[in-house]
Every structure is written in C-alpha cells, then in structure tokens.
Amino acid sequence: MMNLLNLFRQPRFLKNLSPQELLYRMEKYPKPVIVDVRTAIEFKKGHIKGARHFPLGSESKAAQKIIPITPVILICKTGHRSQAAAHTLQQNGFTDHYQLEGGMDRWRKEKLPVEK
C-alpha cells in the first residue's frame, strides 16, 4: 500500500536529472548504477545501456545487490514509479539517488540511444 501512495508524491531527497545530465554522469567516475523499475515488457522494448532491471516492487532486491553509497539513477516510463522505488532505497540506507526527469518517454523524445 505504501508504494501505491508513494507513486503520487516525489520524495524530498530524490533529485531529478535531465537526460543530458544522465549522459554526463554515465561517463564520469564513479559511474552510477542505473536501475530501471519498468515492467519486463517495457524493459525488453528498449532501455538505457547498462541499466539493471528491477521492476517496481523488487527494489529490496536491488538494495541487496548495490552498495548504499553508490549513486543510483532510477528510471521508469515517466517518473512516477521511480519516485515510489526511491522510498524503498531510502529505507535501505541509500542517500545518493536520482530519477531521470520525464523517464524513458523523455529519453526517447530526445532521440537518445536505447538497447534491446
């Protein structure tokens, strides 16, 4: 139930990144971990290179596989599901996490590369 409520509000601790800012961070050290919280079908249709797929609801699994001090970029279709996922990461000790502003819809609109 908490994740459902979290879909409608952006956490204060979650920072937005534009697609261009994400591209810059992908080339910078330390590289962020990109976590795509969309469904398996959405992920297979195209995702950002190097993204790890953890559908919404499995953020706890992601939290177990990523060191909490690692920068994490959350990706979904438009930005709502990544907000819900951010709450779980925060509860698991993550402090440096972001969401892709506008999600994959904006990424594609700006004609940025995707993998299948």
Kindly state the average pLDDT of the residues 58-86: 87
Indicate if the pLDDT at residue 2 is higher than 50: no
Indicate if the pLDDT at residue 11 is higher than 80: no
Tell me if 34 is assigned to some domain: yes
Which parts of 29-109 fold into alpha helices (H)? 40-45, 59-65, 80-91, 103-109
Percentages of the chain per state (helix, strand, coil), in multiples of 5: 40, 15, 45
Give the number of domains in the chain: 1
Tell me if 114 is assigned to some domain: no
pLDDT at site 8: 47
Tell me if 116 is assigned to some domain: no
The yes-or-no answer on residue 85 being catalytic is: no
Tell me if 79 is assigned to some domain: yes
CATH number at residue 28: 3.40.250.10
Catalytic member of 75, 76, 89, 100? 76
pLDDT at site 27: 86
Tell me if 54 is assigned to some domain: yes
More confident residue, 20 or 69: 20
pLDDT digits (tens, 9 = 90+) for 14-31: 899 999 999 999 888 778
What is the Cα–Cα distance from 33 to 36, expressed in whole angstroms?
A: 10
Name the pLDDT band for 12 (thresholds 50, 70, 90).
Answer: low
Q: Which domain holds residue 76?
A: 2-109
Instruction: Give the global pTM.
Output: 0.85
